[in-house]
Chains A and B, each alone.
Chain A
């Protein structure tokens, strides 16, 4: 358990070995996700967050920022550039891949599934970085959920538009009511074991061919 001196769960994560507030660099080309991540880190008490969106000369940028923790999106090819930092024989502050700890494969799995990777620089305690990584994993997952919901909404809207157009075509061509046009497409879809949007699309295609 955390001692009373500590500011609460995860509190130990907020300062680096030297006692200064943790500086966190987010390397992400998606400004929305980086913002969501930054907000989460702020809420957890990490005020010193720097976003890096431009990948040109990334190492120089990172050295200039001099972060304690680097977070990077797994879809970013520049991850390999960070791996070089692990190898630099003469670097004073040498980062360590979060994944180096052999025992914690569950953590690696969760991070890879979520699409984020973390590197700690200098003498950071493992628990501190793990706390940050866990937070990032949940934020990355939240972002992915948001994105898939958005996609789903978009698809539903598109499908509704297609069905509406097909209904209009049937109503005009067969002098049907809207309800009957919809019922006809639904019945056809069920008979042919297809989705109603597929039937609607073929109605539109046929109508265009017969124009």
Chain B
């Protein structure tokens, strides 16, 4: 037998890198004969480029970036495969105390309901325009990000045009909190732990968990180049098995303290274990006054079916790229997008196929607005929405 297979895997310090970090730091990877070196990165552009040129064997990647790379949108075209979801959901929308008060005052009902909050946001936007004030600015993490599409989906459902009525700006996650404090942005959508950090500092209110907007949204995937899969037969299966073990370990409440401690290390996420623990538990302080919101859908990592890639998710993300003018509409691109998410590779590693577990949305998405999503009819999905850029 030769020695363990050496792998370099890039990640961004976020809570949904949990399975990746635990796989490497808790011997799940070693158990599969993999010697994983984790490399912490500072930007999604870096993770994408280093994966694309082969400096990384695999990466913690925004699900839409895997699709954009495969379709050659905005950058070099490199076919990427996603055999494993590292996390579903997990983002939240945080607003400044001023904007929170304005939305609450304009609301016709409970602002915990995204239908109510998005309509209230539309009123706030109109009032500001009438008063001659600058448009609101929302921060998100990357042009091809779930955060971008989740914010847009939510606000456009309330009749706010995300390109005309306010400004959406990209901010690296570690700069979000500072930008909210300085008033550079009025709100942001970002993954854990940054929403909690803003609330703890008393400068933000969590308005929504994104799971209130979409019940089931592929967030980060374990991404590999399809060429790498061809060049390294058998390694992907081991990688998937190692991460399956690690994700289940993260999921077990009995291990949460240990997992939070592992993730809090300075060379991993580098944020207090207690804050990470809240994220893993889905119990978040949502206002500086101490109010808590709990959801068992806040961040999904290791329950049955969470990690299995679903091409419907890829189709939904591609539909958003078309809706907001990032990609042209074509049957070939839709098929290529779906082919990035590979449940067959997941099944091959673990044996047996699995559908969506009970209790999950029937269309695989569970959006708060609009009819059920049909992955084979993107045009119908787009036609519903009056606010859109492309097709």
B164: nearest chain-A partner, CB-CB? A90
Q: Which of A74, A84, A100, A108 contacts B170 (CB 8 A)?
A: A84
A-B contact count (CB 8 A): 78
Residues on A with beta carbons closer than 8 Å to the beta carbon of B75: 86, 97, 99-100
**Is B74 within 8 A of A112, CB to CB?**
no
Q: Which of B52, B76, B326 contacts A87 (CB 8 A)?
A: B326
Scoring B residues 319 to 342 as 1 if CB is less than 8 Å from chain A, else 0, what string do you get? 000000110000000000000000
**Is B77 within 8 A of A102, CB to CB?**
yes
**Is B53 within 8 A of A81, CB to CB?**
no
**Complex CA–CA separation, A100 to B74 (angstroms):** 8
**Interface residues in A, total, Cβ within 8 A:** 28
**Is B55 within 8 A of A112, CB to CB?**
yes
Residues on B with beta carbons closer than 8 Å to the beta carbon of A79: 42-43, 45-46
Q: Evaluate whether A77 and B49 lie within 8 angstroms (CB atoms) in the complex, with A56-B182, A100-B76 already known.
A: no
**Complex CA–CA separation, A108 to B75 (angstroms):** 12
Residues on A with beta carbons closer than 8 Å to the beta carbon of B50: 112
Does residue A127 face the partner (Cβ distance < 8 Å to B)?
A: no
Distance to closest chain A CB from B187 (angstroms) = 16
- Most B CB contacts (10 A, CB to CB) among A77, A90, A105, A117 go to A77
Query: Which B145-189 residues sit within 8 Å CB-CB of chain A?
Result: 163, 169-172, 174-175, 179, 182, 184
Residues on A with beta carbons closer than 8 Å to the beta carbon of B53: 105, 108-109, 112
Does residue B282 face the partner (Cβ distance < 8 Å to A)?
A: no
- What size tier do the contact residues of chain B reach? 20 to 34
Residues on A with beta carbons closer than 8 Å to the beta carbon of B142: 80, 83-84
**Is A89 within 8 A of B174, CB to CB?**
no
Does residue A55 face the partner (Cβ distance < 8 Å to B)?
A: yes
Does residue B141 face the partner (Cβ distance < 8 Å to A)?
A: yes
Residues on B with beta carbons closer than 8 Å to the beta carbon of A59: 169
Does residue A192 face the partner (Cβ distance < 8 Å to B)?
A: no
Query: Secondary structure at chain B's binding surface: helix, strand, loop or mixed?
Result: loop
Distance to closest chain B CB from A29 (angstroms) = 11
**Complex CA–CA separation, A76 to B43 (angstroms):** 8
**Is B172 within 8 A of A78, CB to CB?**
yes
**Complex CA–CA separation, A74 to B44 (angstroms):** 11
Residues on A with beta carbons closer than 8 Å to the beta carbon of B305: none
**Is A77 within 8 A of B143, CB to CB?**
no
Q: Which of B76, B170, B179, B326 contacts A80 (CB 8 A)?
A: B170
Query: Which A80-118 residues sit within 8 Å CB-CB of chain B?
Result: 80-84, 86-87, 89-90, 97, 99-100, 102, 105, 108-109, 112, 117
- Most B CB contacts (10 A, CB to CB) among A76, A79, A97 go to A79
**Is A56 within 8 A of B184, CB to CB?**
yes
Does residue B389 face the partner (Cβ distance < 8 Å to A)?
A: yes
Q: Evaluate whether A108 and B76 lie within 8 angstroms (CB atoms) in the complex, with A56-B182, A57-B184, A84-B170 already known.
A: yes
**Is A102 within 8 A of B45, CB to CB?**
no
Does residue A208 face the partner (Cβ distance < 8 Å to B)?
A: no
A83: nearest chain-B partner, CB-CB? B45
**Complex CA–CA separation, A183 to B389 (angstroms):** 78
Distance to closest chain B CB from A208 (angstroms) = 28
**Is B174 within 8 A of A80, CB to CB?**
no
Distance to closest chain A CB from B199 (angstroms) = 22
Distance to closest chain B CB from A21 (angstroms) = 28
Distance to closest chain A CB from B356 (angstroms) = 32
**Complex CA–CA separation, A82 to B143 (angstroms):** 10
Residues on A with beta carbons closer than 8 Å to the beta carbon of B74: 83, 86-87, 97
Q: Which of B76, B143, B163 contacts A84 (CB 8 A)?
A: B143
**Is A89 within 8 A of B325, CB to CB?**
yes
**Complex CA–CA separation, A59 to B43 (angstroms):** 16
B45: nearest chain-A partner, CB-CB? A79
Residues on A with beta carbons closer than 8 Å to the beta carbon of B42: 74-77, 79
B141: nearest chain-A partner, CB-CB? A80
Distance to closest chain A CB from B56 (angstroms) = 11
- Most A CB contacts (10 A, CB to CB) among B45, B49, B52, B326 go to B45
Given A79-B46, A83-B143, A90-B163, 8 more pairs with CB closer than 8 A:
A76-B43, A83-B142, A86-B74, A102-B77, A105-B53, A108-B52, A112-B50, A112-B53
Contact sample, A vs B, 5 pairs, CB 8 Å cutoff: A78-B172, A80-B44, A83-B74, A99-B49, A108-B76
